[in-house]
Structure 1
Amino acid sequence: MITSQDVQFYKENGYLLVKGVFSQPEVLEMRESVECIIQRAARAKADANHAWQGDFLPPDQLKKLVLKGFHDVHYHDAAFTRAATHPNMVSVLNGIIGPNVQLHHSKMLVKPPANGAAFPMHQDYPYFPHRDHSMLAASVHLDDADMENGCLCVVPGSHKQGPIPHIGVHYLNHKEHPISSGTPCPAGAGDVLFFNYLTIHGSDVNRSERTRRNVLFQYRDAADLPTENVHFDWGMGLMVSGENPDFNNVKPNYRIVEE
């Protein structure tokens, strides 16, 4: 699926766009699954607006923006379990991470037409810091994405800077790191953008009449351990490739408590 030159590009730049990872029938199945999740969330009265707040846009603009986002979509629909372990995905992950790959979590992000919310520039590192920094995101495009409908922008090579202080954990100073500082990564439906969790990235508002739907999977090397007790859930650590070298460290240590 990728070449040694692709792997080297990822190491140098902190990201890699891989074309045609998913077929159009697979993309259509995931689109339908996204819509069903949104409908079920609405019926469950869990359909909140997940647009980021802050000072990166004027308040009158922020209140108009909408983002539909749900974590752990592979718990909601088997289409995303299949996507997370898809042979084409695993092929790329083996090239970038290595033979032993775990899924950390998944989520979906839907920017509706005309008012889909922006993501200011940030690193994913503060949300789930790890020892060896093998963690990466695989952003699966379910629609064609360009600057008009808010495609992802990355800062090539920024992963080499290491962790950078964020404003309230969430995002970087937008005056020092505007979205315009990133390199746009336009992509087609079925393409996947892989980027390290230290790579600075963000996306602008969806100003088009087209929806921008992405499903994002976070992966790590099975030997890479979290350094803080944050962002844990029941299913993190699912092996998508290879083996877990640490027999005693295979799942979060949870217990049921009665209230």
Structure 2
Amino acid sequence: MITKEQADFYKENGYLLVEGVFSTDEIGMMRKAMDGIIERAASTKFDHNAAWQGDFLPSEELKKLVLKGFHDVHYHDAIFTRALSHPNMASILSMLIGPNVQLHHSKMLVKPPENGAAFPMHQDHPYFPHEKHTMMAASVHLDDTDEQNGCLCVIPKSHKDGPVGHVGRHYLNHEQYPISMGTPCPAKAGDVLFFNYLTIHGSGPNRSERTRRNVLFQYRDPEDMPSEETHVNWGQGLMVCGQNPIFKAYKGAH
């Protein structure tokens, strides 16, 4: 699915956009599944706005922004289980991580039209640090994205600098790391942006009349051990490629 040159680009720059990983029909099924999750969540106490808080925007502006986000979407609809282990995904992951690839978690993010919240620049590392830093995100685009509707922006090669100090574990200092510092990664529905969890990234608000929907899968080498027991859940550890060389009894988080 990708060439050695593309794999080398990822290792050098910390990110890689791969076009056409999922078909139009597959994207349509994921959109329908996402709508169902949102509809079911809306009738429960678990529905919430996942917009980031902080001093990067005035408080009155923050109140207007919306970001729908739910973790572990593969627990809610089987289409996402099929997507995260799709043959195209497995082919790419085996070249970027290695022969053995394990799922860490999944989530969905929806930026609604005109008031979809920004993501300040950050690394994913503080949320689930690992020893060997093989952890990566695969952001599946369910809609065409550009700067108008808040596409992801990355700072190339920033993964080489290692962990960077964050503000309260959530985001980097917005004056030192403005979103404008990043390289925009516009994409089409069906494209997937892969990036290392040390790669600094973020996205602007959705100022368009179009929804921006993404599904995010986090993967790792199963021999890459967490340095902190954070972000643990009872379904973690699904093997996507190869085998797990470490045999142990898996049990849920308490």
TM-score range, shorter chain: over 0.9
* 2:250 alignment partner in structure 1: 251
After alignment, is 53-62 or 122-131 more displaced? 53-62
On the 8 A contact 1:19/1:190 being kept in 2, the answer is yes
One-letter identity of the residue aligned with 2:45: K
On the 8 A contact 1:236/1:252 being kept in 2, the answer is no
* 2:6 alignment partner in structure 1: 6
Equivalent residues in 2 for 1:184-199, closer than 5 Å: 184-199=184-199
On the 8 A contact 2:150/2:204 being kept in 1, the answer is yes
* 1:62 alignment partner in structure 2: 62
Pairwise CA distance, 1:252: 4.2
CA RMSD of aligned residues (A): 0.9
TM-score, scaled to structure 1: 0.97
After alignment, is 45-54 or 8-17 more displaced? 45-54
Aligned-partner Cα distance in 2 for 1:253–1:115: 37
Aligned-partner Cα distance in 1 for 2:19–2:252: 38
Aligned-partner Cα distance in 2 for 1:6–1:235: 31
Aligned-partner Cα distance in 2 for 1:6–1:66: 35
One-letter identity of the residue aligned with 1:11: K
Aligned-partner Cα distance in 2 for 1:126–1:56: 19
Pairwise CA distance, 1:108: 0.1
Pairwise CA distance, 1:247: 1.2
Unaligned runs of 5+ in 1: none
Aligned-partner Cα distance in 1 for 2:238–2:84: 10
Aligned-partner Cα distance in 2 for 1:225–1:252: 16
On the 8 A contact 1:154/1:184 being kept in 2, the answer is yes
Aligned residues: 254
One-letter identity of the residue aligned with 1:130: H
Q: Secondary structure in 1 aligned to 2:148?
A: helix
Equivalent residues in 2 for 1:199-218, closer than 5 Å: 199-218=199-218
* 1:158 alignment partner in structure 2: 158
Cα 1:246–1:113 change in 2 (3 A) is same
Q: Secondary structure in 1 aligned to 2:51?
A: coil
Q: Secondary structure in 1 aligned to 2:114?
A: coil
On the 8 A contact 2:124/2:197 being kept in 1, the answer is yes
Pairwise CA distance, 1:254: 4.6
On the 8 A contact 1:18/1:192 being kept in 2, the answer is yes
Equivalent residues in 2 for 1:31-70, closer than 5 Å: 31-70=31-70
On the 8 A contact 1:90/1:240 being kept in 2, the answer is yes
* 2:226 alignment partner in structure 1: 226
Pairwise CA distance, 1:44: 1.6
Q: Secondary structure in 2 aligned to 1:121?
A: strand
Verify: 1:85 aligned to 2:74, yes or no: no
Q: Secondary structure in 2 aligned to 1:137?
A: strand
On the 8 A contact 1:21/1:88 being kept in 2, the answer is yes
Aligned-partner Cα distance in 1 for 2:164–2:202: 15
Identity %: 70
Aligned-partner Cα distance in 1 for 2:250–2:209: 43
Question: Which consecutive segments of 4 or more residues in structure 1 shift more than 3 A?
Answer: 252-255
Unaligned runs of 5+ in 2: none
